[in-house]
Structure 1
Amino acid sequence: MSRWEPVIGLEVHVQLATASKAFSGSSTAFGADPNAHTDPTVLGLPGALPVFNRQALDCALRLGLAAGCRIRPHSTFARKHYFYPDLPKGYQISQYDQPLCEGGAIEFLLDDAPRRVRLTRIHLEEDAGKSIHQPGATSLVDLNRAGIPLCEVVSEPDIGSAEEAAAYMRALHQLVRWLGICDGDMEKGQLRCDANVSIRPAGDSALGTRTELKNINSFRFVQKAIEHEIRRQIRVVEGGGQVVQETRLWDADAGTSRPMRSKEEAEDYRYFPDPDLPALVVDDATVEALRTGLPELPMDRCRRYLDQLGLSPEDARVLTAEAPLGDFFDAAVSAYGDPAGARAIANWIQSELLRELNRDGRELAACPMTPAHLARLVTLIEDGTISGKIGKQMFAEMYRDGTAPEHIVARDGLTQISDEGAVEGVAQAVIDAHPDQAAAYRGGKTKLIGFFVGQVMKQTGGKANPALVNQVLARLLSS
């Protein structure tokens, strides 16, 4: 493997979150009976004319702006001809030589280091239908997907490993969900990937013959399919053969790929401008209005967490996985009133809040605990009002019904015992009750301090200040 260098580019189809299809009024809702969401335009009936969905344009522009693309003020739709049963018109409406967005990049962290994969283009197109193959050489066609608006995001061949390809795909998935332009449910086909893979001798600059892998519908399969294809191409070349330019279908169940067809070139599709659709003209005012409305982007927020709040790359990665989680964290840090509390708040979110949400299958929006309540809980621990152990007990109630932490402390009398005289009285009683362990400690088994701390905490119902308990016990046991 070290003798060869993979070169990878991805083409990702992003289903845009519109209520109706790209060029007609049929619904895009998932799960309807087969062929329920069709109309004369989707079916390609004579006389039916397409009308472009403005909401799809806004979604595509938001993605292009977020990726730093150049927005083409004048773009056109083309007809891409091929003949499949699930494409009733005999062509797909897409963009060819004048795409909406060009250039730009997707940024992400890989092994805690920043990576940047350049984009060739982002263009608009409609989806095809779905062929359902049954035993006995019978196939059925469902056209509910036909006409659904897509963005095709085409990367440059900047990706150097299967692991990096999966990380890029995750970053794009995160971005489209962050922008609210795609739900990103891969089981519903809302994000699908084709991978172009080639190999070359390590250190060479010339590109090898590439193959295209189709039908990849998960991050794990992106990595597995590309790893498999890299190994296959190396075996072919080292066996004296040549890699053939072709399209291969990835079979996730078998963990292998198989030839599907020879790779088409642009001329095979016989592109030409769609005569039924006028040019797509995007003015500067539209672009600037959408640019102004963009949220803080995931990598910008990640850099802020690293540079301004001192979080670790792993903390920053987790807290920027979903926009609502990052918003919750920011609100909690703001309520705390000091960036110095960011690490403690991040720890509580990751160790307690996310664990509870995952266990319950609950969305953050359905959690009654507010960011301000979490900030106040951290404050009560930091200023010594309650212990960390008591804090975890309180968190469970706060998560369950949104009770304010101050109310729990006052109601249950949970204020931490930080009076040295009171702690010393309990500690001395514990030592007197366990003379054998005290003698063993004094004989050199100093790890028994943990036993005595546990006993004191038990006697005080977890309210004693742990640091003070350790200090007092060490003094009494050494005297």
Structure 2
Amino acid sequence: MSKILNIIEKGQNLEKSKPRGGENMEYKTIIGLEIHVELNTKTKIFCSCSTKFDKEPNIQCCPVCLGLPGALPVLNKKVVEFGIKTGLALNCVIADESKLDRKNYFYPDLPKGYQISQYDKPICTDGYLEIDSGKCIKKIGIKRIHIEEDAGKTIYSQNGDILLDYNRAGMPLIEIVTKPDLNSSQETYNFLNKFKSILEYIEVSDCKMEEGSLRCDVNINVVNSDKNLKSNIVEIKNLNSFKAVVKAIEFEEKRHIRLLSEGKNTIRETRRWDEKKNETVSMRKKEEVYDYRYFREPDIVMFNIEKSWIESIKKTLPELPHDKKERFIREYKLPEYDAQVIVSSKKLADFFENTVKEVKNSKLVSNWIMTEFLRLLKEFEIDLDNIKFSHEDFVELLKFIENGVVNNNLGKKVLSQMFKTGKSSKEIIKEKNLEQITDRKTIEKIVVNVIRTNQKSVQDYRNGKERALAYIIGQVMKETKGKANPQLVNKIIKELI
């Protein structure tokens, strides 16, 4: 989440990538997801190498994550804890015992020639996440959550060389597999937004899609029950943005329906999304489970998960987005839409609640965050972590607005300058002489002068034309460069005419 598009992608006003349409009248789209999430642990899943991002290639690896002969993996307990925590947040059943398995396949950046993952005894099963489908609240099943290691990274250079960076090899992942309960790009979009928000709240991952912390595979096909038609399931691999997920689903829906209507069918295969061509492209034939030749990882023993440990992890779960939304509506009297947007990002929700502690007018705080604050984050293409001013500076500005030091219009100008310069509202108001004019005598002099030079508008107002009053007020505000208190200006004009 480096930009406001990602803040509200947690949220979610991503208008340009908002899904279009839904189910075809004749065909039902069936979608299941496999979501890979990189965990926020300090070290890798089976060794003590650092998990820091964007380091020089191949400096954060050791004999274990390079798969050298004789190197033995040791399971990181924190990875299991984060897996359980995610399972609890997604209403899963936590296993009493679990084990790790070898998933065998060849790829240049998979140093051992196999991945240590989980096959038949994942740590979490049978969960669900409720979403708004547009028609009703719909329960999307979570089939399983398992832990595994990541592969390295393949880099294709401009001169055609293939380079390998093993810093990512052995990074801890959880894979969340949904049941095929999603039926449109809109539902998928809503699910991913809520899912991502929950992960951020429980702090198991930073979910930075641009850094590969969250990647999504989509399994999709279409069914026409009336005509007894069903396309083969196609997997779309490694989608790294919600926008790409939406576009890929919509493209595949049309492709599957077109092929079936022509008397053909899709090939059971793995495809990828080509952003430049705006279409999915075939990668390889889809592997079957038996192709991976799973067998139990001999170097790591089966492990038990004590109920007491599960209960202690459950106690660490924070207030989740849905509960926070309901509380914000109840406690701060926010409209449902405002509450939904604000709680969609944990950072934004914390920012709002910390502000309300200082500025008791929750509606004022909500209005400014929902309008100017989010607009400026988007305009400056930054996220909440990268604003130049402090939270205290924002509180100070709202207090100035609440106490009439500056009016709303000037407040907008001040906030924009705060984003540009990082200066406090107090500094900007003083530098630009923006303090609101509240002295009655000063405003009265200006009003008298405006009335004298706009007699036609005065007469129009006396004849019942309300627009004329707005014009006179506008002239006074123009004379004062927007600094006069609008309520006082309105009152004085009415008294004098």
TM-score using structure 2 length: 0.83
Partners of 2:103 and 2:371 lie apart in 1 by 51
Partners of 1:187 and 1:387 lie apart in 2 by 39
Aligned match of 1:126: 149
Q: 1:96 aligns with which of 92, 102, 119?
A: 119
Q: Which of 444-453 and 219-228 deviates more?
A: 444-453
Aligned match of 1:285: 308
May I ask how many residue pairs the two structures share in their alignment?
Answer: 470
Instruction: Name the SS for the 1:42 alignment partner.
Output: coil
Identify if the C-alpha distance between structure 1 residues 255 and 463 changes in structure 2 by more than 3 Å, giving closer, same or farther: closer
Match of 1:361, as an amino acid?
I
Is 1:171 the counterpart of 2:194 in the alignment? Answer: yes
Aligned match of 1:347: 367
Aligned match of 1:226: 249
Is 1:450 the counterpart of 2:470 in the alignment? Answer: yes
Shift of 1:68: 1.9
TM alignment of 1:292-311, pairs within 5 A: 292-311=315-334
Describe the superposition over 1:128-178 as per-residue Cα deviations: whole angstroms up to 9, x where unpaired: 223345689864433332211110011111111122223322332332233
Aligned match of 1:19: 42
Q: 1:4 aligns with which of 11, 27, 34?
A: 27
Describe the superposition over 1:77-117 as per-residue Cα deviations: whole angstroms up to 9, x where unpaired: 01111122222222111111111111222345566975542
Is 1:361 the counterpart of 2:382 in the alignment? Answer: yes
Partners of 1:331 and 1:110 lie apart in 2 by 32
Identify if the C-alpha distance between structure 1 residues 249 and 461 changes in structure 2 by more than 3 Å, giving closer, same or farther: closer
Aligned match of 2:493: 473
Aligned match of 1:187: 210
**2:231 and 2:260 in contact (8 A); partners too:** no
Match of 2:454, as an amino acid?
H
Instruction: Name the SS for the 1:157 alignment partner.
Output: coil
Partners of 1:443 and 1:140 lie apart in 2 by 80
Identify if the C-alpha distance between structure 1 residues 302 and 109 changes in structure 2 by more than 3 Å, giving closer, same or farther: farther
**2:130 and 2:138 in contact (8 A); partners too:** yes
Aligned match of 2:3: none
Aligned match of 1:263: 286
Match of 1:432, as an amino acid?
R
**2:35 and 2:177 in contact (8 A); partners too:** yes
Aligned match of 1:428: 448
Shift of 1:183: 2.2
Shift of 1:308: 4.1
Shift of 1:49: 0.9
Aligned match of 1:417: 438
Instruction: Name the SS for the 1:96 alignment partner.
Output: coil
TM alignment of 1:310-325, pairs within 5 A: 310-325=333-348
Partners of 2:317 and 2:437 lie apart in 1 by 46
Match of 1:219, as an amino acid?
F
**1:107 and 1:299 in contact (8 A); partners too:** no
Partners of 1:100 and 1:196 lie apart in 2 by 22
Partners of 1:213 and 1:392 lie apart in 2 by 44
Shift of 1:205: 11
Shift of 1:384: 5.9
Aligned match of 1:43: 66
Residue segments in structure 2 that go unaligned for 5+ positions in a row: 1-23
Aligned match of 1:333: 356
Shift of 1:383: 6.5
Match of 1:128, as an amino acid?
A
Shift of 1:208: 5.2
Shift of 1:416: 6.1
Identify if the C-alpha distance between structure 1 residues 150 and 413 changes in structure 2 by more than 3 Å, giving closer, same or farther: closer
Identify if the C-alpha distance between structure 1 residues 82 and 284 changes in structure 2 by more than 3 Å, giving closer, same or farther: same
Q: Quote the sequence identity (%).
A: 37
Identify if the C-alpha distance between structure 1 residues 32 and 440 changes in structure 2 by more than 3 Å, giving closer, same or farther: same
Instruction: Name the SS for the 1:40 alignment partner.
Output: coil
Aligned match of 1:162: 185
**1:112 and 1:314 in contact (8 A); partners too:** no
Identify if the C-alpha distance between structure 1 residues 47 and 178 changes in structure 2 by more than 3 Å, giving closer, same or farther: same
Identify if the C-alpha distance between structure 1 residues 247 and 304 changes in structure 2 by more than 3 Å, giving closer, same or farther: same
Instruction: Name the SS for the 2:46 alignment partner.
Output: coil
**1:384 and 1:416 in contact (8 A); partners too:** no
Q: Which of 453-462 and 163-172 deviates more?
A: 453-462
Partners of 2:173 and 2:137 lie apart in 1 by 28
**1:381 and 1:388 in contact (8 A); partners too:** yes
**1:441 and 1:447 in contact (8 A); partners too:** yes
**2:458 and 2:469 in contact (8 A); partners too:** no
Identify if the C-alpha distance between structure 1 residues 88 and 385 changes in structure 2 by more than 3 Å, giving closer, same or farther: closer
Aligned match of 2:235: 212
Aligned match of 1:388: 408
Q: Which of 433-442 and 143-152 deviates more?
A: 433-442
**2:270 and 2:286 in contact (8 A); partners too:** yes
Structure of greater relative contact order (alpha carbons < 8 Å, 6+ residues apart)? 2
Match of 2:36, as an amino acid?
H
**1:15 and 1:182 in contact (8 A); partners too:** yes
Identify if the C-alpha distance between structure 1 residues 35 and 370 changes in structure 2 by more than 3 Å, giving closer, same or farther: closer
Residue segments in structure 1 that go unaligned for 5+ positions in a row: none
Describe the superposition over 1:343-380 as per-residue Cα deviations: whole angstroms up to 9, x where unpaired: 22111123333344452736447654446x75675566
